[in-house]
Chains A and B, each alone.
Chain A
Amino acid sequence: NAGVTQTPKFQVLKTGQSMTLQCAQDMNHNSMYWYRQDPGMGLRLIYYSASEGTTDKGEVPNGYNVSRLNKREFSLRLESAAPSQTSVYFCASSVAGQTRETQYFGPGTRLLVL
């Protein structure tokens, strides 16, 4: 049982390049989330998917798109990377998205945009 997995672990991009961050969970969870973590700012929600087939914007969605490919997978795409998107990105999942639930986090993707 791997929990939440993320690929890649580390990526360097040039400004304007695109890339997709992959996330998968094997816990049969319904809800999935993408966060970014920046020094001194905690975690900020980019997008979330309450259930398969639905996605919603979080606090900082600009410059990102997401796809809930199936119940297991939730990808985050940067269409035209900018230096401001240099960050650590975490994917998380929870059983049904209720606010009392524990969210389970992946190990993160460290992204550097030059």
Chain B
Amino acid sequence: AQSVTQLGSHVSVSEGALVLLRCNYSSSVPPYLFWYVQYPNQGLQLLLKYTSAATLVKGINGFEAEFKKSETSFHLTKPSAHMSDAAEYFCAVSDSGTYKYIFGTGTRLKVLA
């Protein structure tokens, strides 16, 4: 079965600094990978997804992620953090052959002024 690991349940960055949120997956076949963002007291919304096209995926709000098969990683980055980026971020991988996603445990991003 698929699994996904997000390293760091809490990450703090200064406003204007690089954001790097880590996600590693386990899969013997190329998966579909997603990053979702959850703002306080809201549901999840899609940031970006990888579906076996370009390995560098650009999403909303200046975020991007790179699929690295050799490292089984799909880390999320943003060159310059903004206060409005403070939220919880979830990496998810599709469970091949089913309709199911497997979600990571989430990383809460704090942006310091």
| Interface bits A39-76 vs B (CB < 8 Å: 1, else 0) | 01111110010100000101000000000000000000
Residues of A within 8 A of B41 (CB): 107-108
Interface size on B, residues (CB 8 A): 24
A99 and B105 contact, CB distance less than 8 A = no
**Beta-carbon nearest neighbor of B6 in chain A:** A42
| Count of A interface residues, CB-CB < 8 Å | 26
Q: In the assembly, what is the distance between CA of A104 and CA of B49, in Å?
A: 13
Within 8 A of A (CB), among B1-59: 9, 32, 34, 36, 41-46, 49, 51
Residue of A nearest to B32 (CB): A100
Contact (Cβ within 8 A) B51 A100: yes
Give the shortest distance, in Å, between B75 (CB) and chain A (any CB).
17
Q: What are 18 contact pairs spanning A and B, CB under 8 A?
A: A42-B90, A43-B44, A43-B90, A48-B100, A90-B43, A90-B44, A97-B99, A99-B32, A99-B94, A99-B95, A99-B99, A100-B49, A102-B34, A102-B46, A103-B44, A105-B43, A107-B43, A108-B42
